[in-house]
């Protein structure tokens, strides 16, 4: 029983860290612009397909495909921002429709380019088992667990210790007041989309390295990221980590001690209970 519990916890932590990596980008954009980027999951999928192209065409290890994925996905994220920026009225609502449209276009673009086949890495180095006593995992899961923690630390440092990070928080807090302080909100919002693109690029390569990707995966990822963002408290970075880990652990515990058929239900029950007890999420503050 101990062995089973420890493995469930370990799998939950690894799963949660991958969820955090996916949800961070969505949380950053929402935190700054109050825009829910419904194409975020598709950006993650785009990165996964860049990794697939680099591996299948150039023989590169998916880890070496990260720079290419960052360039492609950041460019796609910037283009998404340029479209969102053209919305003159009711940006929060209209951006939902716009980003949903972009998501559909990206899904079908990937489908046309890469067909509907499922893809995953062929690198045995990444998929080989790493055994630490009673804990089993793939090497890629460990690698991206460390990467996720490092990226979150870096993001936290950027948001709290750099001028541009503080400017981003200022825009998130009050766009008009930030403008009066000499901050150009559009530039900051563009930066938030590019940062979200960067995080999506890492998340996509991670999923390609330890999971299986297909063109239609994006919607599932967006929904998962959205649940975590709300669970965390809108825009909270530490909340994303805690929320994602909590969700990952609840899911694996349900599978281990209940049934995996109830995994999704357990995640949603957690989501509802947290929102019932803490309506602003785990780390959210009441909006005035």
Residue ranges in contact with other proteins by CB under 8 A: 3-4, 7-8, 11, 14-15, 107-108, 111, 115-120, 122, 124, 127, 129, 136-138, 210-212, 214-216, 220, 252, 255-256, 259-264
Q: Hey, which residues does 137 pair with through a beta bridge?
A: 130
Beta carbon nearer to other proteins, 256 or 280: 256
Q: How far is the CB of 136 from other proteins (least distance, A)?
A: 5
Beta carbon nearer to other proteins, 202 or 210: 210
Q: How far is the CB of 255 from other proteins (least distance, A)?
A: 4
Say if residue 90 is exposed, middle or buried (CB neighbours under 10 Å; 0-12, 13-18, 19+).
exposed
Beta carbon nearer to other proteins, 82 or 130: 130
Question: Would you say 197 and 76 are in contact if contact means Cβ atoms under 8 Å apart?
Answer: yes
Beta carbon nearer to other proteins, 10 or 283: 10
Closest C-alpha to 51, from 206, 278, 272: 206
Closest C-alpha to 73, from 168, 252, 204: 204
CA dihedral sign, ordered 253, 258, 263, 266: negative
Q: How far is the CB of 210 from other proteins (least distance, A)?
A: 8
Residues 253 and 259: their CA atoms lie apart, in Å, by 9
Q: How far is the CB of 85 from other proteins (least distance, A)?
A: 29
Q: How far is the CB of 252 from other proteins (least distance, A)?
A: 5
Residues 261 and 258: their CA atoms lie apart, in Å, by 9
Beta carbon nearer to other proteins, 42 or 189: 42
Classify 117 as helix, strand or coil: coil
């Amino acid at each position: 029983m101990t062995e089973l519990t420890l493995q469930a916890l370990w799998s939950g932590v690894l799963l949660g860290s991958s969820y955090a990596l996916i949800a961070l980008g969505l949380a950053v954009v929402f935190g700054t612009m109050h825009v829910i980027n419904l194409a975020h999951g598709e950006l993650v999928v785009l990165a996964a397909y860049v990794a697939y192209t680099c591996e299948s065409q150039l023989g590169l290890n998916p880890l070496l495909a990260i720079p290419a994925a960052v360039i492609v996905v950041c460019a796609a994220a910037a283009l998404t921002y340029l479209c969102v920026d053209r919305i003159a009225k009711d940006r929060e609502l209209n951006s939902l429709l716009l980003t949903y449209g972009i998501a559909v276009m990206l899904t079908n673009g990937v489908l046309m380019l890469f067909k509907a086949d499922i893809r995953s890495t062929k690198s045995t180095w990444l998929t080989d088992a790493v055994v630490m006593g009673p804990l089993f995992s793939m090497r890629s899961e460990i690698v991206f667990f460390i990467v996720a923690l490092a990226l979150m630390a870096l993001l936290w440092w950027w948001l709290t210790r750099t001028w541009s990070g503080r400017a981003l928080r200022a825009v998130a807090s009050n766009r008009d007041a930030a403008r009066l302080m000499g901050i150009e909100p559009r530039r900051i919002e563009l930066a938030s989309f590019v940062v979200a693109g960067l995080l999506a690029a890492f998340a996509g390569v991670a999923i390609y390295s330890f999971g299986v990707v297909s063109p239609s995966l994006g919607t599932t990822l967006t929904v998962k990221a959205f649940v975590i963002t709300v669970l965390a408290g809108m825009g909270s970075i530490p909340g994303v980590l805690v929320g994602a880990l909590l969700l990952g652990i609840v899911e694996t515990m349900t599978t281990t001690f209940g049934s995996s058929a109830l995994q999704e239900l357990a995640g949603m029950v957690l989501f509802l209970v947290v929102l019932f007890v803490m309506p602003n999420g785990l780390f959210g503050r009441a909006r005035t």
